[in-house]
Structure 1
């Protein structure tokens, strides 16, 4: 028994020393729970605030200005755009510039006197949490007016939910799930690509070939592009036929947008692969990237509800831009030209990632 305990103790000491020397693994042990705690404690917030909206005040009256201010001070919305016509506001919603628009008619003062609905909200209903927050303003009280307002016959505002009038969660979840699954699989596949070559002894063969570092990086990611496209077809196909998720955008736009994201995710995995020394380290670093990618992308929690610092982090991650891209194309029928900011970021991320990965990879064993 004493000898057995001594052997166990010797192996335990060896494992502890090995763990202390493995800086990446030790860092993941500390950082993963720390990041999770900070994300759930500060960044994740289900109380939706500061939703970007547009205002179309066709009345151009004092009553319209007071009503607009009354809506703003609720802190549920943040007025970021003003348009002259409802058509311009609808276009802004389709492009993702705003999530809703408040339309105030030209006869606003008469409507107040008659107790009629004062205006209309048009809302991007594809996000059920956003639409629920706007619906909460439907019967907001009006106390900032000097003249008497008759009791409302119905509601203060009429609400029109675009893209998901029935407020079904599947409509919002299925396109977002596409981003989550691609993030998990694409980064995981390529994060161990270079490390696996080194552990299997194949790196010596690569050194003797005339292939350049950039050529190797491109060759590593191209096969997995087809894997990603198969996953896209499965998720969108089943989502459409089983859950009735509408596909309002062109398939060519979905294909191009998805290819941009797959390429960005694969290059991120390659960068991880050039940093990690073992496949275990590569998996640990992948988990470290996956947590903020899923939690800060807007898949589960509204982007607008996050603090500004968390939004800055989320803007760096490809998953955030793809969430906007795929939901805009699939649900709102937008195209890449309208969502050019997110398309440009994914393209730039891919190019920079390939350059970093090829620069870090050296055809040598030291």
Structure 2
């Protein structure tokens, strides 16, 4: 027992002498708890709803007001169904409400007032919430138009919504989850591979031989990056190909755009890993830093929970999460067939992420012990 306690004391002293690790052990769980406690929210509001109102009368106005009530939907008008569908394909709106002409005339003629709700089914969980919010708005419309039914004495339903699911009519969860898992897997592998690169050499002492060479810092970074970039590109191809062929995830868009998005994401994560390795002094520090980056990314990227459920602070914070842009690009390309023009924001975000991480890693690396 004395020998065991002696080893335990040695390990405790080792942790205490580490300048960063004790802070990570104490602060990381607290930060994670506060982050997830405030960020996790499964109740979405302000759902971006494209509106095609061809009736433009009192009945359609009442229906739209019920949809906008209690911050359920954020209404965005479009002149035609085609324009609204194009916005849904680009991800600008998540659902579409189309009210045909003659709504008021149908109500006066004691006939049901039809309208159609198109739901983006690429996220089955989010689509279910859209349907629930639409059903609540329909019930409010029924109550508001009940006077017409009472006056006419008819038992016909005053509104008759039709729900149609876009992009994932079978509501298969794999269609939504597999592209997200590809991003999570690439983040985990790429960041962890390179996060230990320089730290491992520093701990084993092999970095001394590297310092003695005439190689410049940015050349060291790029040289360490190239083999891992090849491994990351291979992993990206494997994950996306298996997801397409084995799990039946559609590929509605361009293979070239999908490849570009994946390679930019791989490059940025490799740069992030190398940046971590230049900051961390030990391998445990590098591992903790990797976890501190990956775990919040899961909840602030739209991987598990819709971004519409985040409050304003965390919604703004999510724009600094590269996984968000990757998921927007990959899900848009594979599920909705989004083109390059509609992917300007996520592709630009991935490119900026790669440039920043590689630049900072080159500036942080010093050829000194």
Report if TM-score (shorter chain) is over 0.5.
yes
Partner residue in 2 for 1:102: 97
Does the CA-based 8 Å contact 2:100-2:115 persist in structure 1? yes
Alignment of 1:51 onto 2:47:
yes
Q: How far apart in 1 are the matches of 2:263 and 2:215? A: 25
What number of residue pairs does the alignment pair up? Answer: 360
Q: TM-score, normalised by structure 1?
A: 0.91
Does the CA-based 8 Å contact 1:257-1:336 persist in structure 2? no
Partner residue in 2 for 1:228: 232
> Is the deviation greater in 233-242 or in 337-346?
233-242
Alignment of 1:272 onto 2:276:
yes
Q: TM-score, normalised by structure 2?
A: 0.91
CA positional deviation for 1:9: 4.2
CA positional deviation for 1:173: 0.7
Partner residue in 2 for 1:323: 327
The structure 2 residue matched to 1:89, chosen from 76, 84, 89, is: 84
Q: 1:151 to 1:96 in 2, by over 3 A?
A: farther
Q: How far apart in 2 are the matches of 1:66 and 1:153? A: 16
Alignment of 1:129 onto 2:133:
no
Structure 1: runs of 5+ lacking an equivalent: none
Q: Encode CA deviations 1:159-210: one digit per residue, 9 max, x unaligned.
A: 1211100101111011111111011111111111111221222222222223
**Aligned-residue CA RMSD (Å):** 2.1
Per residue, is there more helix in 1 or in 2? 2
What secondary structure, in the 3-state scheme, does the structure 1 residue paired with 2:50 have? strand
Q: Encode CA deviations 1:58-86: one digit per residue, 9 max, x unaligned.
A: 2222322221111111433222x221111
CA positional deviation for 1:303: 1.1
CA positional deviation for 1:266: 1.1
Q: How far apart in 2 are the matches of 1:259 and 1:111? A: 54
What secondary structure, in the 3-state scheme, does the structure 2 residue paired with 1:23 have? coil
Q: How far apart in 1 are the matches of 2:97 and 2:82? A: 12
Alignment of 1:250 onto 2:254:
yes
Partner residue in 2 for 1:119: 115
Q: How far apart in 2 are the matches of 1:301 and 1:111? A: 40
Does the CA-based 8 Å contact 1:96-1:339 persist in structure 2? no
What secondary structure, in the 3-state scheme, does the structure 1 residue paired with 2:288 have? helix
Partner residue in 2 for 1:144: 144
Does the CA-based 8 Å contact 1:138-1:159 persist in structure 2? no
The structure 2 residue matched to 1:62, chosen from 58, 63, 84, is: 58
Does the CA-based 8 Å contact 2:58-2:104 persist in structure 1? no
Partner residue in 1 for 2:18: 22
Q: How far apart in 1 are the matches of 2:229 and 2:104? A: 58
Partner residue in 2 for 1:76: 72
CA positional deviation for 1:115: 3.8
Q: How far apart in 2 are the matches of 1:152 and 1:206? A: 82
Structure 2: runs of 5+ lacking an equivalent: none
Q: How far apart in 2 are the matches of 1:132 and 1:308? A: 23
CA positional deviation for 1:89: 0.9
